[in-house]
Structure 1
Amino acid sequence: MVDVAPRLLVINTVVWRRTLATWQQCGVADPRAVAHSSPRLLGYDWLHASRLANLRALQQWLPWDLSAAQAIERYAGFVASIAAERLAGRLLYLEQLRLLPLLVADKLAARQEWRLQRGLSVSKRAAGEPVFITVRDVAMSAPANFDSLLDSALSQKQQDDDGLASNGSSSSSSSPSFEAYRKGRLLQLPAWKQLLAQAEADVVELKRKLPPELRRVAAEAEDGGGCAE
């Protein structure tokens, strides 16, 4: 961890040791490799319920198999720095809108595969292409951009469901803004309450498995639930 060493000098020893131990408990085979790719991740409190809610949400709602270890290895930056109401909440919103099948790991690869299956040129945009969504879109898009993306996805999905290039209907395919959904329904949903309860249980279980000297996180850890904006 030579390249990580300068970063460790400004992080309390208990904090970064606890992070590595927590990742290992989550099944990460080489926690130091994750730290090497993004040393700042060592400064977060990974036993915060918001982060574990994000971790569970990625495993639960991404339309491909993803272990906790893989979620950390691929999306640790989002898990650590984005509030659960934003990352996990947006994933749950996609589930409610039945848009989870549009989530992909790589948009370019997904588009090429879609075109290839239909005998189309993989290098040219085609009519009727799905509006694919990545985890980065979910985590990082500004509110207006995220809402616009969902409106486009819903519009294309409606056309596909109707089997028409343009259905000419006056009915709206747009959805309420995520912010309106978050403030109005999200916190009351049984699925949301269950996710948070599971995350709290995960905190207790993971902490129980840590050595005694790592169970109490140092005050220097970035222990907030992440950035909502």
Structure 2
Amino acid sequence: MPASAPIVDIFVPCFVDQLYPATALSMVKILEAVGCRVHYNPAQTCCGQPAYNAGHLGPARAVAAKFIEDFTPAPAAPGPRYVVSPSASCIGMVRNSFTELFAGQPEAAACRPVQARAYELTEFLVDVLGVMAIPGAQLAGVYTYHDSCSGLRECGIGPGPRLLLDGVAGLTRREMAETSTCCGFGGTFAVKFQAISVAMAQQKVEHALDTGADYIISTDVSCLMHLEAYIKKEKLPLRCLHIADVLASGW
């Protein structure tokens, strides 16, 4: 691999690490295939989002400060260098909430460069590398795409994921109604307001079923985990797939 190849420091979110490790491996497979040098720091932990969403700003700041330390390269480290994650939710936390967490704090100066280099996987592929399709990707069936709140509203992710998915051989897209409506997960929201959360998942799944899709695909495992729980409980003919696992399939 040429020395000029971009270096990607991957961030594997807590729930991906613990529940969906194959998705992290899919991300590595894709990044290497498009010419990136992938680096994993085993000291990494969490971005601090669970504590932040629960209102525990002190603990969230401590965890976020470790994130900044873990993803700040040494002064002599080669570049260009990026932080890439298979989670728009975590990247949204880094880009937006870190600004509030470290306002007026000593870590603010170190925080900004990390924020500027942080990308969700699909936006890194499309917007930074200019990759429009992953050669060899194959998956037979019909999919509908779920725009996660974090991807759409916090990261401003637009048509990129659909562009990549439309390049997967054998895969056909059908848009569902209210695709940008929340799935109901929202982290601690699903715990504090269970009935509302489940009703929102039901609505999202019904919209997906109306398209005749085989798969719901998204950038966020958190959304998919929530929807999958409802789907399994109701024994519905629908699968939830992270976009990295789709782009890494068939080759």
Q: TM-score, normalised by structure 2?
A: 0.26
Larger Rg: 1
Q: TM-score, normalised by structure 1?
A: 0.27
Structure with more of its chain in helix, by fraction: 1
Structure with more of its chain in strand, by fraction: 2
